[in-house]
Amino acid sequence: MDDVDKVDEVIEDGDSSSWDGVESADDNAPYHILLTTQQKEALVALNDALHDGETMESLLERFHAVSMAIFTSQRADSERHRFHLPLEFFTIAFNIRKDGSIRKPASIAPNVTVQQYWAQFTILHNAVVTPGPTSVSE
């Protein structure tokens, strides 16, 4: 099963608010990633585009839509589920070593900086490609 098929399985099996794509290490129970409707729709559209063989330009636009949804929307109950949100989970998971320890803050900072630039670029990209006023006074 390739990665795209795994994403399909996760999307088809998940409900409208969670992505059961990560297995917990202890009991192989799904670790729910909580998504907004906007995030899930953008992910499904990207997944469909991958399967449909859309052009790289189209895939990039869909990737930007996913990024925009992740950076600009959050669930109403997000404060109670911090470790189940896409960015928080990614930050934690990416910085856990194989032995279960967490990287030192000096090693985590560059990764967080990359996320900050990704968010800034995503919002700038959206501003540039979205039709609207051409100046502040309009």
pLDDT, tens digit, 9 for 90 and up, residues 34-76 = 888 999 999 999 999 999 999 999 999 999 999 999 998 888 8
Please tell me the total count of domains within the chain.
1
135 in a structural domain:
no
Which residue, among 88, 65, 64, has the nearest Cα to 75 in the 3D structure?
88
3-state secondary structure at position 117: helix
The answer, yes or no, to whether residue 106 has pLDDT greater than 50, is yes
How confident is residue 81, by pLDDT bands cut at 50, 70 and 90?
A: confident
Read off the amino acid at residue 86: P
- 87-105 pLDDT per residue, tens: 888 888 888 888 888 888 8
CB-count exposure of residue 2 (10 Å: 0-12, 13-18, 19+):
exposed
77 in a structural domain:
yes
113 in a structural domain:
yes
57 in a structural domain:
yes
The answer, yes or no, to whether residue 20 has pLDDT greater than 60, is no
Which residue, among 86, 84, 93, 80, has the nearest Cα to 32 in the 3D structure?
84
49 in a structural domain:
yes
User: What per-residue confidence (pLDDT) applies to 16?
Assistant: 38
**pTM recorded for the entire structure:** 0.65
Which residue, among 49, 39, 48, 46, has the nearest Cα to 18 in the 3D structure?
39
Contact 15, 37 (CB under 8 A): no
The answer, yes or no, to whether residue 25 has pLDDT greater than 80, is no
138 in a structural domain:
no
The answer, yes or no, to whether residue 28 has pLDDT greater than 70, is no
Structural domain harbouring 45: 3-129
